[in-house]
């Protein structure tokens, strides 16, 4: 899952103070986190108002002692089925897209390419496959005429997917570039809230789907009285597990201890949380919490209001790899409530989501033919908690910060070496002992700072381990 990138997300909607580290980015894509002042995957931090929402690119109240009893389901509800491929999904925040470059993404198991069509002045979303020899179009370029050019043989495509030029076709021969089979596959797409969205179906009936159904609109993101930044992080989670995480406020004092910027919570004891799911149907559910109302609009939006504002976003890319998900997979998604014991109201949102998933969506995401039914191997911890490939490489602000800090690191090393060289090359009578001592001290200091900076760069932009036992 991306947390569009859309499984990074993030992501719980609990009021927190804004991070003090200028390079810190909350983990969620694919797409958005809102906090007072400032990122899809996830982050959009907002100030001046308090609301919270999470996009996740794809309850019933519980009693304090006894597990929630199953409710009587209406026959009409049983006939309704949520279609995973007839929904809008967030692809990427526009702030992280360069109009000169095509971007390869994966959403709902589909490989897509996002590129700027300057002739139509809009972001286009194609299937990331050239019809010629199946090369990835995301590895190509935007040519001087604003067309998407395949890097393999130079075929060029316009915004509607029509092939504009085949270099190998003789100019006096048949116009093979006009054949239907020469066209690239185009998905419906739009930009809303400065996020690129796409509809994961190329069925002709959805060609004008934007006229009938728009992506969920978040007015605060376009409200000038809010300010913020967006970002995305791809996380190797499954959709269901990440959504549960977003809806679970009671895990924060424990799982996020030592990470959150607010005052540290007491890890020796939580407290009861009053959360009640008030309405639940195929279009999601509304819940009442102590500090806010929250609304789940499937498959991609979790919105909380009004007393907190933390907007987190994530888009589902493929099946995930968490240990929790593997255990659920072992017992089977339909048996989730039998495997998990959720007796308190703090789990009401999670129970509500699982009920919606079971009742309207078949208990799990319909991946079509993109998922064989077997989970991928568990990657090493360095890959699971990777920061560079999951976020930094796709984030314009973090990429600039990383380059700047690397330049500073090299500059400090150069100064250190140059200073030692100057002292060694200067005759003893030319430079006083005090000056020599000062230059040597500066060289040692620059070297020490460069080593510290190297460690800071690694843990901030590449990998930072976390051990709960030592927090």
* pLDDT score recorded for residue 338: 57
* pLDDT score recorded for residue 47: 41
* pLDDT score recorded for residue 339: 57
* pLDDT score recorded for residue 30: 33
* pLDDT score recorded for residue 410: 95
* pLDDT score recorded for residue 236: 74
* pLDDT score recorded for residue 333: 56
Q: Tell me how far apart the alpha carbons of residues 456 and 464 are, in angstroms, rounded to a whole number.
A: 10
Where do the structural domains in the chain lie, given as residue ranges?
Answer: 1-129+185-385, 395-470
* pLDDT score recorded for residue 295: 86
Q: Find out whether 294 and 287 touch, Cβ atoms under 8 Å.
A: yes
* pLDDT score recorded for residue 136: 96
Residues of the chain with pLDDT under 50: 2-53, 58-75, 77, 308-323, 325-327, 330-331
The reported pTM is 0.69
* pLDDT score recorded for residue 78: 52
* pLDDT score recorded for residue 254: 73
Q: Find out whether 253 and 268 touch, Cβ atoms under 8 Å.
A: no
């Amino acid at each position: 899952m991306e947390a569009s990138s859309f499984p990074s997300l993030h992501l719980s909607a609990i009021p927190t103070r804004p991070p003090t580290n200028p390079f810190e980015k909350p983990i969620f894509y694919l797409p958005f986190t809102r906090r007072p002042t400032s990122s899809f995957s996830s982050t959009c931090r907002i100030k001046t108002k308090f609301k919270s929402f999470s996009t996740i690119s794809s309850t019933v109240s519980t009693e304090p002692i006894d597990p929630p009893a199953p409710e009587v389901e209406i026959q009409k509800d049983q006939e309704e089925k949520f279609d995973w491929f007839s929904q809008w999904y967030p692809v990427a925040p526009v702030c992280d897209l360069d109009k000169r470059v095509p971007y390869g993404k994966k959403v709902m198991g589909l490989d897509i390419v996002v590129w700027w069509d300057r002739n139509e002045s809009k972001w286009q979303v194609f299937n990331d496959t050239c019809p010629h020899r199946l090369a990835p179009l995301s590895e190509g370029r935007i040519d001087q005429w604003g067309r998407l050019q395949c890097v393999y043989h130079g075929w060029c495509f316009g915004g509607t997917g029509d092939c504009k030029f085949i270099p190998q076709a003789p100019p006096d021969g048949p116009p093979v570039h006009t054949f239907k089979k020469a066209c690239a596959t185009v998905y419906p797409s739009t930009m809303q809230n400065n996020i690129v969205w796409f509809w994961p179906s190329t069925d002709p009936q959805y060609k004008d789907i934007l006229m009938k159904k728009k992506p969920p609109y978040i007015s605060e993101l376009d409200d000038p009285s809010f300010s913020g930044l967006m970002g995305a992080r791809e996380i190797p989670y499954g959709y269901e597990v990440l959504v549960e995480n977003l809806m679970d406020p009671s895990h924060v004092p424990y799982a996020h201890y030592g990470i959150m910027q607010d005052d540290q919570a007491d890890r020796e004891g939580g407290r009861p949380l009053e959360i009640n799911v008030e309405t639940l149907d195929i279009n999601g559910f509304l819940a009442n919490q102590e500090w806010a109302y929250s609304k789940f609009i499937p498959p991609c939006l979790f919105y909380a209001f009004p007393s907190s504002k933390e907007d987190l976003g994530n888009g589902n890319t493929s099946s995930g790899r968490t240990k929790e998900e593997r255990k659920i997979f072992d017992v089977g998604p339909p048996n989730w409530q039998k495997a998990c014991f959720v007796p308190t109201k703090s789990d009401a949102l999670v129970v509500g989501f699982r009920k919606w998933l079971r009742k309207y969506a078949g208990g799990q995401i319909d991946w079509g033919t993109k998922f064989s039914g077997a989970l991928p191997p568990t990657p090493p911890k360095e890959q699971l908690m990777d920061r560079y490939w999951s976020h930094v490489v796709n984030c314009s602000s973090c990429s600039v910060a990383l380059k700047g800090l690397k330049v500073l690191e090299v500059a400090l090393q150069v100064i250190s070496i140059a200073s030692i060289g100057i002292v060694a090359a200067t005759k003893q009578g030319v430079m006083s002992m005090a000056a020599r001592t000062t230059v040597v001290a500066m060289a040692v200091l620059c070297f020490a700072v460069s080593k510290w900076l190297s460690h800071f760069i690694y843990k901030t932009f590449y990998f930072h381990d976390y051990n709960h036992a030592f927090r």
